[in-house]
Amino acid sequence: MVTNHSYAETAYINGYIYTADSANNVCEAIAIAHGYIIATGTTKQIQYLVNQNTQVIDLQGKTMLPGIIDAHLHPFWGGLQLSGCHLDYASLTIEQTLAKIQHYLDQDPCVGIDDWLQVRGWLRQEVLPLGTDITRTDLDRLNTVRPVILFSNDCHTLVANTRALEKFGLNRHTPAPKDGKIGRRPDGELNGILEDAPAMRAFDSIPALNNKQAIEVAKLVQYELNKQGVTTVMDARSADLQFRAFKTLAEQDCLTIRLLGAAEITPDDAATLNDIPKALENVKAFAKTYSDEQWQPKPGLKISLVKFFIDGVLQAPLMTASLLKPYRINQGTHDQLNFIETDRFGDLYYDNTLLENLIIESSKAGFHPHMHTVGDGAIETMLNHIETLRTQYPHLNHIRPSLAHNELAAPHQYARFAQLNVIATLSFQWAGPTNEMIEQFYHMLGEARFNELEPCAKFLDAGAKIAFGSDWPIDPLNEWYDFKVAMTRTGYSPAGKITKQLKTDRCLTVTEVLRAATIDAAFMLSQEQHIGSIEIGKFADLIILDRNPFMIEAEDIENVKIISTIIGGKLVYQQ
């Protein structure tokens, strides 16, 4: 396939170029002009577009792919984590945790009573011995006057020391919230543990970085992403500070990533039907500030999704993901398990009628609804609302709702994703839980439901589309490890051992994985006309790899290193 362009500014020849087009074609060479792909074909065919001004790059058999699209992550928050105090997702005792934090405090130039210290990369469920909770009393033992918070990697738990609680304005007289938990000791005093919405509200109230600091974080973020071959991301919880920082980079011609975003509408933003217009006005204003009208080869920004947090998380002790049938919980001990049926279904954070209206009104306003749905109950709720949207508003068929996470689906739901044209956004690495987590889920859900844990291929086999979203920094940024898990359904234990295979679904093929992280992620974001595949007329977002994922063992995919990342025809990362 060669077009009529007179000549190429850049030509890549002699490669193994997986195009991700609809036929999964592989070609040998491509030609680029003005940031667009103008031809694909054999090296010989492309030679006709080469003149004395063309930069010809001989790939010498190396593999080239479309740039990776990560369709659900929290890039700025990830950057903050990389640049601040974090616990590396390690399993630690309370003493070890405190020692790490103290070490950071002792070297940090900030020492004032108003200088927040945010500790991240903390796995609440991995505090040793398992089942231990860290409380305010523990954090108060740190040698500091600063407000200190420990924020869990799933962003559902925050532990505050006494100074931080003071600054949040929380005390024993604070009423119990409806949308989460403010933990208390038996004497009624707060224990410092905040769960779900109160944790997020408290976190959001911490004064943000100044613009200059934010720009430094944004630079680090785009570098880390480019280094793993990522050229487009969707920020699943967009806010002013981070978009201002990335917009500044764009204005300075320094942006090296395409940034799409979802603006969140919380249950507080739309407490009644009457609040919906106002909530949507806010989203529109935000989108207007940070969206480039024309998407072009030079990277830009766009807010084109709205985000709704429908339920919580599956793992004990939270168990806030919404289920169709109740959770089973352990009434025995750690060694003597005794799981019994309960009447606990988890949580749904929105009123049903309100949610249906929110979905319809956001779609009418042109935004693609993107939902956090972990349990089959939350999935069912959303599929029902989307069915209403599809049947009552057929002219809104261009809207692409996506459900993110889907850790536990019900067998009848996969086909509904396909029928209703709903995309499942999946964090592949979650299909490689530790053996302990597999045990826990097995008992918590019972055998039948356990078989639907972390579905992946089941969506594809039912005819639905899946899109990859790493959810960084819920987990470390490691895109190629995530791909490996999708292909093997094994992960690593905290000690680095390979875990038992999670046999609740078949493994994905390399083609399925790569499509989910390129063209199908572009589809979810409604950007497939511009990005996601190597085809004539699309932006030249390309990566060159040190090995060929089609020729190596699935286990080796995690070792892929990126040699070059090219965005809009421009080299932005080189090994």
Q: Which residues are within 8 A (CB) of 23 and not within 5 positions of it... i.e. 6 or more apart?
A: none
The distance of Cα 102 from the centroid of its chain, to the nearest Å, equals 30
Task: Choose one: 94-102, 279-287, 463-471, 495-503; the region binding Zn ion (CB under 5 A).
Answer: 463-471
Task: Choose one: 343-351, 466-474, 525-533, 539-547; the region binding Zn ion (CB under 5 A).
Answer: 466-474
| 421-437 per-residue burial string, b: 16 or more CB within 10 A, e: under 16 | ebbbbbbbbbbbbbeeb
Task: Decide if residue 236 touches Zn ion (CB under 5 A).
Answer: yes
Task: Decide if residue 378 touches Zn ion (CB under 5 A).
Answer: no
Q: x-or-dash pattern for Zn ion, window 147-166, by CB under 5 A?
A: --------------------
> For residue 216, which of 240, 194, 245, 251 has the smallest C-alpha distance?
245
Which residue, 247 or 307, is less far from Zn ion as judged by CB? Answer: 307
- Tell me how far, at minimum, the Cβ of 151 lies from Zn ion, in Å: 14
> Given candidates 471, 475, 482, 541, which one binds Zn ion under the rule CB under 5 A?
471
Which residue, 70 or 361, is less far from Zn ion as judged by CB? Answer: 70
Distance CA 565, CA 78 (A): 20
Task: Choose one: 168-176, 229-237, 295-303, 374-382; the region binding Zn ion (CB under 5 A).
Answer: 229-237
Which residue, 236 or 403, is less far from Zn ion as judged by CB? Answer: 236
Q: Which run of H or of E encompasses 532?
A: none
Which residue, 54 or 406, is less far from Zn ion as judged by CB? Answer: 406
Task: Choose one: 85-93, 233-241, 242-250, 517-525; the region binding Zn ion (CB under 5 A).
Answer: 233-241
> For residue 482, which of 427, 548, 521 has the smallest C-alpha distance?
427
Beta-carbon count within 10 A of 171 CB: 11
DSSP label of 417: H
- Tell me how far, at minimum, the Cβ of 225 lies from Zn ion, in Å: 16
- Tell me how far, at minimum, the Cβ of 471 lies from Zn ion, in Å: 5
Q: x-or-dash pattern for Zn ion, window 46-75, by CB under 5 A?
A: ------------------------------
Q: Before 129, cis peptide (omega within 30)? A: yes
Q: Which amino acid is at 187?
A: D
Which residue, 17 or 318, is less far from Zn ion as judged by CB? Answer: 318
- Tell me how far, at minimum, the Cβ of 199 lies from Zn ion, in Å: 14
Which residue, 12 or 151, is less far from Zn ion as judged by CB? Answer: 151
Which position has the token pair 């030609």? 31
- Tell me how far, at minimum, the Cβ of 401 lies from Zn ion, in Å: 16
Task: Decide if residue 519 touches Zn ion (CB under 5 A).
Answer: no
Which residue, 236 or 438, is less far from Zn ion as judged by CB? Answer: 236
Size of the site for Zn ion (CB under 5 A): 2
> For residue 482, which of 544, 555, 429 has the smallest C-alpha distance?
429
Report in angstroms the alpha-carbon separations of 144 from 85, 151, 241: 15, 18, 28
- Tell me how far, at minimum, the Cβ of 236 lies from Zn ion, in Å: 5
Task: Decide if residue 522 touches Zn ion (CB under 5 A).
Answer: no
Could you tell me the strand order of the sheet in which 230-235 lies? Answer: 68-73, 230-235, 258-264, 301-309, 368-373, 402-405, 423-426, 466-468
CB-side neighbour CA atoms (13 Å) of 505: 31
- Tell me how far, at minimum, the Cβ of 138 lies from Zn ion, in Å: 28
Q: Which residues in this chain contact Zn ion in the complex, by CB under 5 A?
A: 236, 471
